[in-house]
Amino acid sequence: MDRIQKVLARAGIGSRREIERLIAAGRIQVNGEVARPGTAIGRGDRVSIDGREVHFARALERRRSRVLLYHKPVGEVTTRADPQGRPRVFDRLPSLKTSRWINVGRLDVNTAGLLLFSTDGELANRLMHPSYGIEREYAVRVRGNVTPELLQRLTAGVELDDGPARFRSVVAAGESGGINRWYHVVLTEGRQREVRRLWESQGVEVSRLIRVRFGPVSLPRNLKPGRWLELPPHTIRALYAQVALEPWLPARSGRKRRGRRH
């Protein structure tokens, strides 16, 4: 027996946050009764979402932990449905039969780079949670007058609309090219447009933004935008170790798979 949001997340039904939203909306039932936050379920319980039974026990028995690394291009949205009909990151991912891909955080439509997807909603939830302090590294091209004092403020901390924020580190990348210059920045939160807003708070414009690392996983140089690869078990174990969670993996490593751009 364990909390329903945790069990369904580990079964790949959705992220813990998604499950919690469904519970709050009264859309999940356990044994014919509306579920509440913290409701405990076991393999013998009947769970349904919007009246459709969810075979979570079967999904737990058949599945193993899988994680994809996707190189998101500019122009794609990180949502399952888009009213404007824009391309979605999910359009390029391989199909699943007993679970679904759960994105680990988001990148806005104008940001490219590394985006992780997992079949384990609990893993995705912990990787996104600020309490675990998972590092995100970005390559950012900025336009403006960047002084040592400005960089010091960005690492010391500035006040944004949703509270204080800062970069853990800011490192210049290469020589200055005219009014544009590249930097690598690291932070441990995933607030909306946080990297852009930090620079903009100092009067500096971000002209290009690419996420190049998430925790122990880096974006491979040879992985083109619009393509994905499945992470090997040893890398998946490193992700689980970052958030103190036990992975569900086969004893032996499987073959590395790559996805083609369509």
Classify residue 188 as exposed, middle or buried by CB count within 10 Å of its CB (0-12, 13-18, 19+).
middle
What is d(CA 16, CA 192) in angstroms, rounded to the nearest whole number? 19
Q: What's the pLDDT score for residue 250?
A: 54
The single-letter code of the amino acid at 259 is: G
Mean pLDDT in each 10-residue stretch from start to end of the chain (262 residues)? 83 83 93 91 89 78 79 95 93 86 94 95 89 96 93 95 94 76 93 94 95 97 96 93 79 53 46
Domains plus CATH for the chain?
2-62 (3.10.290.10), 67-130+216-242 (3.30.2350.10), 135-214 (3.30.2350.10)
50, 82, 108, 162: the catalytic one is 108
DSSP symbol at 105: S
Catalytic residue flag (residue 108): yes
* Contact (Cβ atoms closer than 8 angstroms) between residue 68 and residue 116: yes
Token pair, residue 126, equals 């912990």
- CA max distance for the chain: 66
Contacts of 136 (CB under 8 A, 6+ apart): 186, 187, 188, 189, 190, 211, 213, 214
Task: Note the pTM of the prediction, 2 decimals.
Answer: 0.77
